[in-house]
Structure 1
């Protein structure tokens, strides 16, 4: 067994090494190659990823990724001001939208999180708050099993967001957010994406 296979990496026909989850489909490969782990530093972008990570809890990421265009349509392209203004009719609309994940608690949390996001602007905004929890070092996993699922920073971020009125922002979900938007780099050593964000060398 070669080193790439034993580490959990798969070498594609293009000769590039990716983790097995990223090689599962064209959609997952495109997401991994072009987006996952790249820096997202704007309010709407961070709000979208925070929302999708919250909806992903208990589901596969591929499910959320396939539904992402529908989520964008349903939630006004994740414009925090628009989502913050949603009322009971909007909740009813979303609960009847079969194209998204119809979970009342997560829908309510998204609306509440949009309102909390608007409220954070006076203190620099959601994006600045989230990025303020960037650690001094990033993991350097050689195997999939070595990738953490939480960290002291994701726990601290979770606590601070909850204090600020956010919901469905547990430390594991926040760790996944930090991975997704480039705050940490958990690409396996040997992956063609390791270090590509420019945040970590």
Structure 2
């Protein structure tokens, strides 16, 4: 697809073309002339182990060590380019979602979902961790993964504070139930 979009560099156009984005998104870029800020690839949390397996395999093929206290996803030392994304699909049946983030867009990453971002232009990241009851299991699993990383790893600590969240959620639930207990006993 060609473009006369004045703000698009050849590198940005190539990244979008190789980013496996859908035709509607390409139209937003090329025809509507919206300026893309970042390209995201997001995968299902259930596919995390398959992604790790591929990255370890590729690392070994390239002669890299895979220390037990390092994690190819949490280390953020890999970028799955089009070739690796295709290999991930062909060898493991894993396919993610390609999302172009435009000015003013927010991107929601589900708990435990491996993801990567390629900034197309200068971007400011504002992140907020949110733990919903439906995803506590994924968050707890992530916390366990973080605990096995080396003590010098930036993700070693429990950033999500899952145990505290569970404690306070249960405490609030018990408090609410106790508040209705006298009313329930009178019925």
TM-score bucket (shorter structure): under 0.3
TM-score normalized by structure 1? 0.26
Q: Which has the higher strand share?
A: 2
Q: TM-score, normalised by structure 2?
A: 0.27
Q: In proportion to residue count, which structure has more helix?
A: 1
Bigger radius of gyration: 2
